[in-house]
Amino acid sequence: MNPADLGLPVDVPSTALFTDQYELTMLQAALRAGTADRRSVFEVFTRRLPDGRRYGVVAGTGRVLDAVENFRFDAGVLGFLRERGIVDEPTLEWLASYRFSGDIWGYPEGEVYFPGSPILRVEGSFAECVLLETVILSILNHDSAIAAAASRMSAAAAGRPLIEMGARRTHELAAVASARAAYVGGFTTTSDLAAGFRYGIPTVGTSAHAFTLLHDSERDAFRAQVDSLGRGTTLLVDTYDVAEAVRTAVEIAGPELGAVRIDSGDLLLVAHRVRQQLDELGAKNTKIVVTSDLDEYAIASLAAAPVDAYGVGTQLVTGSGHPTCSMVYKLVARAQSADPKAPLVPVAKKSMGGKTSIGGRKWAARRADADGIAEAEVVGTGPVPADLADRQLLAELVKGGVVVAREPLDTARERHIAARAALPMSAIQLSRGEPVLPTEYA
Amino acid sequence: MNPADLGLPVDVPSTALFTDQYELTMLQAALRAGTADRRSVFEVFTRRLPDGRRYGVVAGTGRVLDAVENFRFDAGVLGFLRERGIVDEPTLEWLASYRFSGDIWGYPEGEVYFPGSPILRVEGSFAECVLLETVILSILNHDSAIAAAASRMSAAAAGRPLIEMGARRTHELAAVASARAAYVGGFTTTSDLAAGFRYGIPTVGTSAHAFTLLHDSERDAFRAQVDSLGRGTTLLVDTYDVAEAVRTAVEIAGPELGAVRIDSGDLLLVAHRVRQQLDELGAKNTKIVVTSDLDEYAIASLAAAPVDAYGVGTQLVTGSGHPTCSMVYKLVARAQSADPKAPLVPVAKKSMGGKTSIGGRKWAARRADADGIAEAEVVGTGPVPADLADRQLLAELVKGGVVVAREPLDTARERHIAARAALPMSAIQLSRGEPVLPTEYA
């Protein structure tokens, strides 16, 4: 079964309108001025990490590749642009045959990043590159924010499974992307069926209070659930009295009961009590799942509690205080003429308010010490120093308009865990701090 | 042209997988236990407003109606559920013919709400209602969070136009919903073409630094833009030196220049200087648009500045510190048996941690004082008191599975402005405070 054939909401036929209007009007003006064909290099980077964070996590790269491939102006879209008078006829004609034909290099998905890291480099004519700004930034800014929160949570969970269950707290399709980004950041499963369908992420489910309340007693509800879903199911034990619910649960399911879920109260205290009670009832293998507004700090605070899995919702899908990254998409170099052989000139805004950036087409490498631990993010525009040649971070993703770097989501997930492990230990401290690596400009 | 015919990403063929797995497993268990057909009432409400906020804004209702209508399990979805073993065959059969056939009442879109307000009431069999939990909450929690931020910003802007331009800071489809919610909350236009396409929101665009940097000089760039887009265009004047850019802009476009945009620096100071310079150059009608990490406080601080429009991105689409609401979807009443005439019993969780809620099918009304100013949100489960009968808030949205309350987006926008205006004046104070109306339980 190929999910893409099913027309489900998670696949989109065109991404071309995920675009700010000014990209099209700039295109029109450049076409008329004869500057649209100038070879251009755009880079995605961020000037800073969210306050107190020690590293960023690149996520969404796979979705960016899909978006670039599906960036097409069909008759319906062109009709809309014409009817609204957004661009003129020559521009509409140009858009009708739009296919990105340039090159994209970038940090592979799951890699960590720091201020100034050239996370993505898009190269081609000004016209073909400028149009991609909004959709590329939407994807990377959203997905990377979620992955960064997920990574902190997975570090705090120290190997215990993490269930993504935030769909109800964010836009229904942002939820699917969030489940994907969370998986890259180290989560184990998701409750979101669309994410399971589209990306193959393992899905799980327990039960809600509504199910208990539907029945004439908690006992009836537990029996209904166990009868239908088996003894391995997870029973929700905090609708009325937890101790009574745990007793009833084990009475009905026996010691083979899969798990109980606790969704309110002082989780540390309640988990200890429930563990003791389960053990006394002989249900030594019954697991305890906790949920209830968890974030990385709450997860860390439960490290010594007898908890077997964490379910995380709101704080994950809102990036644990930082729901977006501040990545920008900037022209860093362009040719002096439309001649494809014209040399590239570095360009950069030179203005007020700290919004300056560094011009020129960049490479990046992560320098490591003798033990293999990363010690600096090195970014440069000239030749790559010999000692950094095999520590380069940018990988080829699109070549001449063709995607050349598709990979399973598990690859990105494993890459993230490896990249994080190669950072200094202080990277996974939850307390606020500076980026764990300095960015050096060569 | 009917946008729905074009297969664009903003219309989705099915919403049935925007669902947490437990909803399907609860359905399976209830079908088997014979409790799935019990008539049930679910309500959406929130226990609190985001910290310091004085009112909430209902947004997304129109999207909820679309989602309920499109909630269908087609062969592809059923195949996925079967292959993954998520539910059993009897449940799959039941899902294959799923159509919501119940009733939905709710606060109309754009209405304000308070803790405990029964924002949406979904009534039908347990089975048909329980499945809608996640998609309803996703939409309302996201869209209402954005609309609440937009409403504060539009109050702060005091009539000056607001441009939504946050697409690059959030998921590409959350961006479309954000533009829609921002419009409901009082924004004027959006930069997001998909939002213009799908919802008819007026779109606008200016220019980016990349366009200036593409050209050999700022003068060349301005000339290219004016030649192509006319003198009424908006020129971005902060790529290099603002004063020089303003001079060049008026030289090229003349006093008919539409607007200049300032995207960095001390906006208050720079706006005053630019206004003075424009006036001295005779460009008295040229407008000033400011952008650059604006939020409601920054907008308010520019009230005395010569600013003609605000462009808002990040802070809007992230809900200005509150990217989600805490709305929940709870079973509040259900029949004692599957008999359709069985009386409803109020139900509620009674547990730890402040997560209790009030059982029973609710009405709500906003009591006003003699001057027509709202003074309390009154919520009750019994008969509606006579003096509140014509102040009731819930409207019929879906009747027997059929949507009966579609309306243009402008209606929701006007409703919001009227509802906000009927609140006590302190509602639009930006400072942190308590909900501007108390919620009283009758």
> For residues B61 and B79, what is the distance between their CA atoms, to the nearest angstrom?
30
Class of domain A12-145+324-441: alpha beta
What confidence score (pLDDT) does residue A358 get?
A: 84
Of chain A, the percentage scoring pLDDT greater than 90 comes to 92
Whether residue A177 has pLDDT greater than 80: yes
Query: Between β-strands B328-335 and B344-346, what pairing exists: parallel, antiparallel or unpaired?
Result: antiparallel
| Percent of chain A surpassing pLDDT 70 | 96
Residue A438 has pLDDT above 70, yes or no: yes
Q: What architecture does CATH give domain A156-321?
A: Alpha-Beta Barrel (3.20)
Q: Looking at chain A, how many residues does it have?
A: 442
CA distances B227 to A33, A82, A83, B244, Å, are 8, 19, 22, 20
pLDDT at position B355 is 57
> CATH classification of B9-126+324-441 is 3.40.50.300, yes or no?
no
What is the three-class DSSP state of A389? Answer: helix
**pLDDT, tens only, A377-403:** 999 998 999 999 999 999 999 999 999
pLDDT of residue A340: 84
pLDDT confidence of residue A4:
41
Chain B residues touching A172 at Cβ < 8 A: 15, 18, 67, 134-135, 138-139, 142
User: What stretch of H or E contains B329?
Assistant: strand B328-335
d(CA B274, CA A314): 43
Q: How far is A88 from chain B (nearest CA, A)?
A: 9
Mean pLDDT by 10 residues, chain B (442 residues): 44 85 98 97 97 97 95 93 97 98 98 98 98 98 98 98 98 97 98 94 94 97 98 96 98 98 94 98 98 96 97 98 97 93 91 68 97 96 95 98 97 98 96 96 92
Contacts of B290 (CB under 8 A, 6+ apart): B261, B262, B263, B267, B271, B302, B305, B307, B309, B310, B311
- In chain A, which among 53-82 make CB contacts under 8 A with chain B? 67, 74, 76-77, 79-81
Domain boundaries, chain B: 9-126+324-441, 206-288
Q: Per the CB < 8 Å rule, is A22 touching B208?
A: yes
pLDDT for position A181: 98
pLDDT band at A355 (very low <50, low <70, confident <90, very high): low
DSSP string, B154-167: HHHHTTS-EEE--G
d(CA A263, CA A208): 10
pTM for the full predicted model: 0.97
Q: Is the pLDDT of residue A179 over 60?
A: yes
The pLDDT tens digits for A44-79 are 999 999 999 999 999 999 999 999 999 999 998 999
Are B272 and B306 in contact, with CB atoms under 8 Å apart? yes
Residue A356 binned pLDDT confidence (cut-offs 50, 70, 90): low
Looking at the DSSP assignment, which residues form a beta bridge with residue B121? B43, B105
**Residue B271 token pair:** 């706006």
- Contact with chain B for residue A441, Cβ under 8 A: no
Q: Cβ(B62)–Cβ(B410) under 8 Å?
A: no
A17-35 pLDDT, tens digit each:
999 999 999 999 999 999 9
Put simply, the answer to whether B334 touches A214 (Cβ < 8 Å) is: yes
**Chain A window 358-417: which residues touch B at a Cβ cutoff of 8 Å?**
none
Beta-carbon separation of A138 and B22 below 8 A: no
Residues of chain A contacting B139 with CB distance shorter than 8 Å: 171-172
Q: Does A95 touch chain B (CB under 8 A)?
A: no
Confidence of residue A1 (pLDDT cuts 50, 70, 90): very low
What's the pLDDT tens digit per position in B76-85? 899 999 999 9
In DSSP terms, A192 is beta-bridged to: B20
Cβ–Cβ gap A211/B26 under 8 Å: yes
CATH number at B206-288: 3.20.20.70
What is the pLDDT, as a whole number, of residue A349?
86
- Which among A29, A224, A326 is the nearest to B29, CB-wise? A224
Q: How far is B327 from chain A (nearest CA, A)?
A: 8
Chain A contact present for B7, CB below 8 A: yes
Is B196 an interface residue toward A (CB < 8 Å)? yes
Mean pLDDT of A201-213: 95
Query: Mean pLDDT over residues A259-267, rounded?
Result: 95
What's the angle, vertex CA A277, arms to CA A275 and CA A281, rounded to 5? 115
Distance CA B37, CA B72 (A): 19
Determine the Cα–Cα distance for residues A135 and A100; give it in Å rounded to an integer.
13
Q: Taking residues A245-260, report their average pLDDT.
A: 98
Distance CA A266, CA B223 (A): 65
DSSP string for residues in B338-363 = S-TTSPEEE-----STT-----S--E
* Facing B134 at nearest CB: one of A168, A203, A240: A168
Judged by phi (left if over 0) then psi (alpha if -120 to 50, else beta), residue B296 lies in alpha
Average pLDDT, chain A: 94
Query: Using the beta-carbon criterion (under 8 Å), do B8 and A8 form an inter-chain contact?
Result: no
pLDDT tens digit sequence for B204-227: 998 999 999 999 999 999 999 999
8 Å CB contact of A353 and B265: yes
Residue A238 near chain B (CB below 8 Å): yes
